[in-house]
Structure 1
Amino acid sequence: MVCIKVEAKFCSKLLNLVKGYKLEKYKLISEGTKRVIHLNNTIKHTDLREIPEETRQAINEIEGIQILPTTLHLGYEELTADEIFSKILPPNLELVTSFETVGHIARFNLSPECEPFKKIIGKVIMDKNKHIRTVVNKTANINNEFRTFQMEVIAGEPNFLTEVKDNGCRYVFDYTEVYWNSRLSKEHDRLVSLFKKNDIIVDMFAGVGPFAIPAARAGCIVYSNDLNPRSHHYLKENAVLNKCDKNVKAFNLDGRLFIKELLFGETKLNRIDHIIMNLPASAIEFLDVFRDLRLPDRSLTPTIHCYGFSNETDITKDAIEQGQKILGPIENATVFEVRGVSPKKTMFRLSFPYEIKREEESEVVEPPHKKQKTEL
């Protein structure tokens, strides 16, 4: 290892220069008027050749600087989780060290090869992340209409009621009962930034409200829906928690029935600015609710934002073709690549204006069947 000795009065300057190269979680050592800073294992040579030349020159210009080789015996407290795993787990084990943080919960998707070591993996993650109190491993893929999945606790307390902060909003929910994806935080902010105050927003698959709540806080009127009764429960709770419940109208219906309620039922909206369809595994299929749709006394032209998955190289072409297969011709569409789900699978957002036309006098629209709705 390499260490740098510097006069105490120049220590702050040196720490700024070696930011990213300092051995984390290892305290400074005092030697009289000097301080000793240990560099991490990315720095192998005392000439600091691994550091950019400009920074290296600034370090060497500090008065009385000494750059020396050293040997340091590090304990558990000083090592990072990755460093610990590299020492205690089999060298050929492909460990998934990244995990999703959902409030106080860390969620892993461990490979079968990691199964014998899951308990120690969970313990290390808790030790090295003090805000984590529960570590879970996903044991099955999402395979139900409520988008929940099976999980097992591999460390900590079996407490799934958590609170998440996302883009300035707070969300409370039981992680075993609802769908939440922390990796969509930037997309939540990106889409809501397109909305204007007093816009009418329709959120067909709202979950616990990651689009609906910030939109409502921004002054939009949001008609939000989720088929999962528990998501509907927490959506209403989170609207109150974020003091925007007056702007959130919550429904617990099938997505297609929800749209028919807003257009033909007691709600009967005369304006919709944006429709959000964040159910990427099947949202494209729900576009059929708009196909050949006619209104008896008005027309509407909302912008539809439909999420989906693509395995193709040309994602824009594939996304538009998926939408047109269900809805027919789509014009003025834009496709945004939200995130890579796997090496060959990308989540996208297909956005386009769509006119819901007024019916001609010769056309007849069959009214929807009455369904029980729940509304704030």
Structure 2
Amino acid sequence: MAAVALERVAKTFPDGTAAVRDLSLEVADGELVVLVGPSGCGKSTVLRLIAGLEAATGGTVRIGDRPVNDTGPGERDVAMVFQNYALYPHMTVRGNLEFPLRMRGLGRAERRRRAEEAARLLGITELLERRPKALSGGQRQRAAMGRALVREPAVFLMDEPLSNLDAKLRVRIRAEIAALQRRLGATTIYVTHDQAEAMTLGHRVAVLRDGVVQQMDAPDRLYAAPSNAFVAAFLGSPGMNLLRTRIHPEAGGWRAELGAQEVTLPVEVVPAALAGGGPQEVLLGVRPEGFVVPGGVEGGERLRLPVRMREFLGHEILLYLEPPVSTVDPESPDTAPPLVARLEKGAPQPGEVADLALDPGALHFFAPDGARLD
């Protein structure tokens, strides 16, 4: 296996579209890094730049210790798994697994050994003599992964490999991918638009927007300390609520205006960057679980918020609430999304008023332009 590094890499297409801008990231040997972001953010282009399917217009791509900008795809020692499986329909699963090895000139016995070992690892041994049309979506995806696995490459590249599967099968296959990656210790770069996949699979996750890495860190740290409002709202299901509010200093703390309602903030939860100043405009961030039943958290103050919609999910209830002030969606600046609260039980119905409190320790503060305030 090998490490991968991108050093100030850029990709601009002939029509002037800048898909990747001054992007730098490092993937350690044996690490699984997930690239996540909305459609058109450049994540698949980054994968194609590493694979050699696109040529960078700036910067350096390294695999191991060597720059590979001028190296063809066949010489980069990478294997790619696509979302559409890309299996040869006229070949059996065995034929598909052995094909890249035949192209490299490996003998029949070695091809057979590698194909059967990959099939055993992926649980598809009994499917080796079937053709793709006789396989389910999950079986086809395993076969496509097996074809990459047999090559024993330095780096695995996966481009939204689960997007064509149903929700239940996606959960199962992503668990299998994580287990297989741990067992092999394979350097893997995985692209997805599904932030649940990103958070559950990645050793580290890089969040992209408009061809720029917004933040790269371990999933728990991304969730707990997003570097800006975009990352905060993008990660999480649902993402963080962002409210435009004005905070005022007062004796022993701060006060946040939420329309006709106000919330007192303990001085210790307000960023030091705001200390010593007067009233200031901020984006106040609170994740859905930051809304709690009054009395359920020390210092939580009550808010009364009309319920627009209620989603019962079995283990939890999501309430979509009328916001007391304007809200922000960094992906869609012209929209004003409802507030979302996650509760375990006792949630009111649409048309009723929810009596909730804010957990002061769960609040995040961002500047009006979206930068995190620490």
Normalising by the smaller structure, the TM-score range is under 0.3
- More strand as a share of residues: 2
Q: Relative contact order, CA 8 A, sep 6+: which one is greater?
A: 2
TM-score by length of 1: 0.26
* Larger gyration radius, structure 1 or structure 2: 1
